[in-house]
Homo-oligomer: A and B are copies of this chain.
Amino acid sequence: MRENAKTPERHAQRMAAKQKIMNERIARADKEQGILLVLTGPGKGKSSSGFGMLARALGHGMKVGVVQFIKGAFSTGEEAFFRNLPNVDYHVMGEGYTWDTQDRERDVAAANAAWEQAKRMLQDDRYHMVLLDELNIALRYEYLDLDQVLDDLQARPEMQHAIVTGRYAPQQLIDLADTVTEMKVVKHAFKDQGIKAQKGIEL
């Protein structure tokens, strides 16, 4: 987690707005409302936890949206499973990142196009839950404007849950979030023991 406030004033404004909302929430603590949940840290289970919550929400008959900010082998299982279900609006970011400093503009463009999909769902109260899978990576590489992302998250409908996954959640996102879990590695078969990544668990 890191501090990367480009505009401390907007951060302060967001925190003031959050405090106001929190006070209102506490005053009527029995009311349901949308939660901003962040799943971060190096341990296994961040994305899969987000997808498990998606399944739970679908089990309640909710409508959900997904934007995956990393395209790759890791996402094939979830995509195959969720993409064509009813009540699921599923987007995968363009071609994936080039991770190439020579072609940074293309990565920025791909991430921003994905964010447009996210923003559309974050402005639509028919979505009960929006999963922004690996968004933290796009923020880490500064492919997206953090202030814009935080403002859009904060402006979402009151009843909508938003889930952000990925390592290196920025501190300002953690400040804005309602619930944050950090996944810690106790041990890791593949890294510690040189075992190949396993389909179903890792892929």
Contact = CB atoms under 8 A, between A and B. Distances in A.
A82 to B, nearest CB: 7
Contacts of A45: 39, 45-46, 49, 52, 181, 183
Closest 7 CB pairs of A and B: A48-B52, A59-B81, A56-B77, A178-B189, A51-B52, A52-B52, A180-B186
A55 B51 contact: yes
Contact of A181 (B56, B81, B183): B183
Interface residues of A, number: 69
Chain copies in complex? 2
A9 B91 CA distance: 52
Given A177-B187, A198-B32, A80 B60 contact: yes
Interface of A: 22, 25-26, 29-35, 37-41, 43-60, 62, 76-82, 128-129, 161, 163, 174, 177-190, 193-196, 198-201, 203
Contacts of A40: 186
Nearest to A80: B59
A198 B34 contact: yes
A173 to B, nearest CB: 11
Contacts of A26: 193-195
A181 to B, nearest CB: 4
A127 B75 CA distance: 22
A37 to B, nearest CB: 6
Contacts of A183: 43, 45, 181-184
